[in-house]
Structure 1
Amino acid sequence: MDDRKERRKWTPAEDIVLISAWLNTSKDHVVGNEQKAIAFWKRIAAYFAASPKLAGLQKRESAHCKQRWGKINEGVCKFVGCYEAATKEKSSGQSENDVMKMAHEMFYNDYKVKFTLEHAWLELRHDYKWCGASSTKG
């Protein structure tokens, strides 16, 4: 018999709380850049665990939060590029839905997987790090 715990998929609600935890912790000017990585992720895990939105759910360890954040950040950064490209190709008469559909198609064509983190992108899209201008390499 295998004693390993079964992996639990992250729900969109958990992702949203994790994003909020990361944004609030990373912008804490009192602690700021002085935070060591271990302490930073422990603070995020504590914020995450304290969320009333996740009452009754099993706790996530700081390593789990860090790993999930890496996947969210990578996926959203890739999608930002696709969304920017789709926005530049937008013609008059096309709606925001048309742009999103095109961005999803571009993502799939580029990465051969569907973009499943739209809920995360919607939370992060207005934060400076994920806004178009700062996501381009230069």
Structure 2
Amino acid sequence: MIEWLWAGLLILAASHRATRALSLLLALKWAANYAAFRLIAETAPPLIDIALGTVGVIWASRQRAGWSDVVAAGFILTLLAHAWYWLQYGAGGASALVYYWLIVGLFTAQAAAVAWPGALAYARALRRRWA
């Protein structure tokens, strides 16, 4: 169900010029993580997040907007969540459910942040059309 929300937010973000590159990067991250988790192992998504997160932080830091700060922070916090989980994994103290929802929440926040400029542009266009 949450995947439908992500798809809608990323499509909305891809329709806006300023957020297109980051929305496509987030879509690539989403697809690569799902494929890697299913085909390789559960340890593969953190490696993908390191690679794509580095690119994402660089791209987001070039934007001068509040939404880009949320996206950059999401990439960094995702890596910290991976580290928290995997450092505790061997001792058996990590909660897989908390880890899962933390990763899902961070990605949802990133998708919503990157979709925000596109949503504002469409809202303004609708307001001008109907006003």
Alignment TM-score, normalising by the size of structure 2: 0.30
Larger helix proportion, structure 1 or 2?
2
Higher relative contact order (CA 8 A, sep 6+): 2
Alignment TM-score, normalising by the size of structure 1: 0.29
Structure label with greater radius of gyration: 1
